[in-house]
Structure 1
Amino acid sequence: MRLCFLVEEQYRYDGMPVEVISQLVSWGHRVDVLRPGSSLLSLSDVVRAGSHDAWVLKTVSGGPGLSLLEAAAGVGLTTVNDARAIRGVRDKAVAAAVGRSRGLPLPVTYGAAHPDALADIPSSAYPLVVKPADGSSGRAVRLVPSPERMIEIRAELAGDGMLIAQPYIPNSGTDLKVYCVGGELYATERNSPLHPDRTTKERRVPLSAEVAGIVAEVGAVYGLDLYGVDVLLGPDGPVVVDVNDFPSFRQVPDAAARVGRAILNLARTGSTLPRPPLPHPSPIPAAAGDGR
């Protein structure tokens, strides 16, 4: 197969996707790598029907790669994930509105094009978590304890574009990152970005049937095949606080091969294993052949 990876400079040497690309090449597939953030591209030559079996995106949330992926989808090429699904989850305001309307356990979400508008949020909603609607990797996530503090940081927020604010969910200081790869779910526990003082080492943990069902539903609601979900275990149950279309897949065993096989399956069929995934985490399967 011939695949095209769109890779932002930030991820040029990152294990994900570098190890996946190496794995695919070792299996005999051709992988072209485009760096949309730093290269001049002849779009009419690069984005054309039949050029590749699938395009894969690994870029920062606000980078130019998504436009290229959407162009590839527009000429009929397979994309990983679906380009419309990626657009939907990368705009956190859109993702929050869609997710809550479909019954996912997301927090109440306020949106504001300018930080001054956040002053209208009722004081009873505090403390608040405020972040850019196009943020990623925990960038510019702030815990705001009071309306007075919100006024104090307005200047800091002014450069973040569209903002969302959600009531803080009391939690232990750690959150769950659940990855979906080829229909299988893998959960890790890690420090919450709002509690950097904690020293919990990221590790794999068992996944409850309740959280597994929520994560499976996330994939169905947003139309994602390869994805990650951040979940907080709050006093009223699990809460989805973020969805990523192509995460790091840290702590997923044999991640490069698993992700590589999922990409190849998507390129061939347009979908991975049937959704939703099993409600319980299944035993780690043996590697199925060499992925070819």
Structure 2
Amino acid sequence: MRLCFLVEEHYRHDGMPNEVIGRLTAWGHRVDVVRPGGSLLRMTEAVGTGAHDAWVLKTVSGGPGLTLLEAAAAAGMTTVNDARSIRGVRDKALAAALGRLRGLPLPVTYAVADPELLREIPDAEYPLVVKPADGSSGRAVHLVGSPGRLEALLPVLAGEGMLIAQPYVPNSGTDIKVYAVGGELFATERCSPLHPDPSVRERRVPLSAEVAAIAAQVGAVYGLDLYGVDVLLGPDGPVVVDVNDFPSFRQVPDAAARVARAVLALADRGAASSAPGVVPMAAAGVGAAGGAQAYPLPVSIPAQLTAGVGEGA
């Protein structure tokens, strides 16, 4: 296969996706790497040749790579993930609206273009978590304990563009990060960016049936294949606080090979879906073989696992 990876400068030296690219190359596939933030792109010709079997995006939110991926999708190319799905989760205000509408346990979310409008949020909603609507990697996430603290933060927030604010979900200070790759789910526990603690190391943890069902539902709601979900175990149950397309897959066993196989399978699926009489893998319920601490993504989620999931804390 011939694949095109769109890799932002931020990830130029990261193991993910470089190890995936190395694995694919070692398997005999051709991988072209485009750095959309550091290249002069002739947009009228960049996707017109149809020379790639699939396009893969690993960029920061708000970077130029998504525009190029969307152009490839518009030209009929297979993209990993679906370009519209990526756009849907990278806009956190849109993601929150879609997620709650479709039954995911997300917090109530406010969105503002001018940070001074955050003053209108009722005092009863404090403490708040405020972050950029296009943020990633924990950038500019603030725990705002009171309206007075908000006033002090307004100058800092002024340059962040669209913002979202959500009531803080009381928790133990750790997040559950669930990674979905190759039809399987893997869970890790890590320190919350709101409660930094150098003594807390990221580690693999068992994945409960309730959190697994929510994580699988995230993929179905947003149309993602490779993704990560940040979950807090709040007093009223699990709450989804972030969704990432193509995350780091840290602590996933043999992550580079798993992601590489998933990319190839999705490229094959994209080709198969356009062939008459061929049922795509997702519709047929085909997934990768299970392993330790791996949970196959269900085609449908049992009702008993999703009952009462509609409201976030």
| CA-CA distance at 1:284 after TM superposition | 3.6
2:62 maps to 1:62: yes
Distance in 2, matches of 1:100 and 1:195, equals 26
Q: Which residue of 2 aligns with 1:157?
A: 157
**Native 8 Å contact 2:113 2:162 kept in 1:** yes
| CA-CA distance at 1:274 after TM superposition | 5.7
Distance in 2, matches of 1:230 and 1:285, equals 17
Q: Which residue of 2 aligns with 1:208?
A: 208
| CA-CA distance at 1:277 after TM superposition | 9.7
Instruction: State the secondary structure of the residue aligned to 2:37.
Output: coil
Distance in 1, matches of 2:293 and 2:27, equals 19
Which residue, 281, 285, 291 being the options, matches 1:283? 291
**Native 8 Å contact 1:112 1:163 kept in 2:** yes
2:181 maps to 1:173: no
Q: Which residue of 2 aligns with 1:261?
A: 261
| CA-CA distance at 1:235 after TM superposition | 0.4
Distance in 1, matches of 2:193 and 2:180, equals 21
Shift in alpha-carbon separation, 1:259–1:78, aligned structure 2, 3 A: same
The sequence identity of aligned pairs, in percent, is 73
Normalising by structure 2, we get a TM-score of 0.87
Root mean square deviation, CA, Å = 1.9
Shift in alpha-carbon separation, 1:2–1:16, aligned structure 2, 3 A: same
| CA-CA distance at 1:46 after TM superposition | 2.1
Distance in 1, matches of 2:293 and 2:100, equals 34
Shift in alpha-carbon separation, 1:274–1:211, aligned structure 2, 3 A: farther
Q: Which residue of 2 aligns with 1:16?
A: 16
Task: Output aligned runs, 1:175-194, within 5 Å.
Answer: 175-194=175-194
- Deviation track 1:153-183 (CA, whole Å, cap 9, x = no partner) reads 1111000000000000000000000000011
| CA-CA distance at 1:48 after TM superposition | 1.4
Q: Which residue of 2 aligns with 1:37?
A: 37
Distance in 1, matches of 2:52 and 2:127, equals 48
Amino acid at match of 2:225: D
Count of aligned pairs: 284
- Deviation track 1:121-160 (CA, whole Å, cap 9, x = no partner) reads 0000000000000000000000000011111111110000
- Deviation track 1:12-37 (CA, whole Å, cap 9, x = no partner) reads 11000000000000000000000000
Amino acid at match of 2:124: S
| CA-CA distance at 1:43 after TM superposition | 2.3
- Deviation track 1:193-229 (CA, whole Å, cap 9, x = no partner) reads 0001352110000000000000000000000000000
Distance in 1, matches of 2:88 and 2:95, equals 6
Instruction: State the secondary structure of the residue aligned to 1:233.
Output: strand
**Native 8 Å contact 1:183 1:273 kept in 2:** no
Q: Which residue of 2 aligns with 1:251?
A: 251
**Native 8 Å contact 2:206 2:293 kept in 1:** no
Amino acid at match of 1:21: I
**Native 8 Å contact 2:180 2:228 kept in 1:** yes
The list of structure 1 runs, each at least 4 consecutive aligned residues, that deviate by more than 6 angstroms after superposition, is 275-278
Task: Output aligned runs, 1:101-116, within 5 Å.
Answer: 101-116=101-116
**Native 8 Å contact 1:49 1:77 kept in 2:** no
| CA-CA distance at 1:191 after TM superposition | 0.1
Q: Which residue of 1 aligns with 2:307?
A: none
Distance in 1, matches of 2:290 and 2:166, equals 33
Gaps of 5+ in 1: 287-292
Distance in 1, matches of 2:155 and 2:17, equals 36
Distance in 1, matches of 2:253 and 2:5, equals 22
Distance in 2, matches of 1:156 and 1:66, equals 27
Normalising by structure 1, we get a TM-score of 0.94
Distance in 1, matches of 2:139 and 2:171, equals 20
**Native 8 Å contact 2:173 2:192 kept in 1:** yes
| CA-CA distance at 1:50 after TM superposition | 1.9
**Native 8 Å contact 2:186 2:293 kept in 1:** no
**Native 8 Å contact 1:125 1:167 kept in 2:** yes
Amino acid at match of 1:17: P
**Native 8 Å contact 1:7 1:36 kept in 2:** yes
Distance in 2, matches of 1:194 and 1:166, equals 13
| CA-CA distance at 1:285 after TM superposition | 9.9
